[in-house]
Amino acid sequence: MPETDSHIPALSRAESLIRTVADYPKPGILFRDITPLLADAEALRVTTEALVAPFEGEFDVVAGIEARGFILAAAAAITAGVGMLPIRKAGKLPRPAASVDYDLEYGTATVEMHDDLPAGSRVLLIDDVLATGGTLEAGRVIVDRLGYRLAGISVLFEIDGLGGRDRIGDLHTVFRS
């Protein structure tokens, strides 16, 4: 659904529910805890609508990156009336078709994905936070490797100053710090 003036106060309230937790998961990291937003039905609804609105009609499925990206992608898929595919951490899928290694701001990781869609399927990639962009870059690469078309990237929260937007390029962000 397109964002309307009536969504602006609701989105502001939703943003106020995101907590910053210092030194998690390791010293120096400011973790964005979206649990209070997820627990609030109205906040979850308006943010989910805001995640998909710019891409309405342009995607066949939503892909969400583990773990909080799953939650948002599932809600977005229901909102848009499409299916959802998980992009999981290594070793969590029974038959991964592709994998990508990437760097985080506090380590390295690998993600994997199944190839359950026809080639050329249009995928909206969703995650919770854009920081350095490593996770979303891995998501973009794995979508491409499997022969799907990236319809767009949408994130709930972008942390400015960490280089994520420079790395990812064009994407939609609901909230920025």
| Strand 172-176 versus strand 83-89 pairing type | unpaired
Active-site residue, selected from the candidate residues 15, 45, 105, 145: 105
Is domain 52-176 annotated with CATH 3.40.50.2020?
A: yes
Closest CA to 102 of 16, 39, 48, 168: 168
Q: CA-CA distance, 50 to 48, in Å (whole number)? A: 5
- pLDDT higher than threshold 90 for residue 3: no
Residue 68 bears catalytic tag: yes
| Strand 149-158 versus strand 19-22 pairing type | unpaired
pLDDT score at 63? 98
pLDDT tens-digit series, residues 64-111: 999 899 999 999 999 999 999 999 999 999 998 999 999 876 678 999
* Mean pLDDT of the chain, nearest integer: 92
pLDDT score at 104? 73
- pLDDT higher than threshold 70 for residue 2: no
Active-site residue, selected from the candidate residues 32, 49, 68, 140: 68
pLDDT tens-digit series, residues 24-54: 988 988 889 999 999 999 999 999 999 999 9
Q: CA-CA distance, 3 to 1, in Å (whole number)? A: 6
Sheet holding 61-65, edge to edge: 98-104, 107-113, 83-89, 61-65, 122-130, 149-158, 172-176
Q: What are residue 152's DSSP bridge partners? A: 124
**Cα angle, residue 167 at apex, residues 171 and 87 outer, rounded to 5°:** 65
Contact 84, 61 (CB under 8 A): yes
Please give the full DSSP string across 61-116, using - where no structure is assigned: EEEEETTHHHHHHHHHHHHHT-EEEEEEETT-SSS-SEEEEEEETTEEEEEEE---
Question: Which DSSP state fits 177?
Answer: -
Q: Where are the domains of the chain?
A: 52-176
| Model pTM score | 0.91
Closest CA to 64 of 119, 107, 14, 128: 128
Residue 137 bears catalytic tag: no
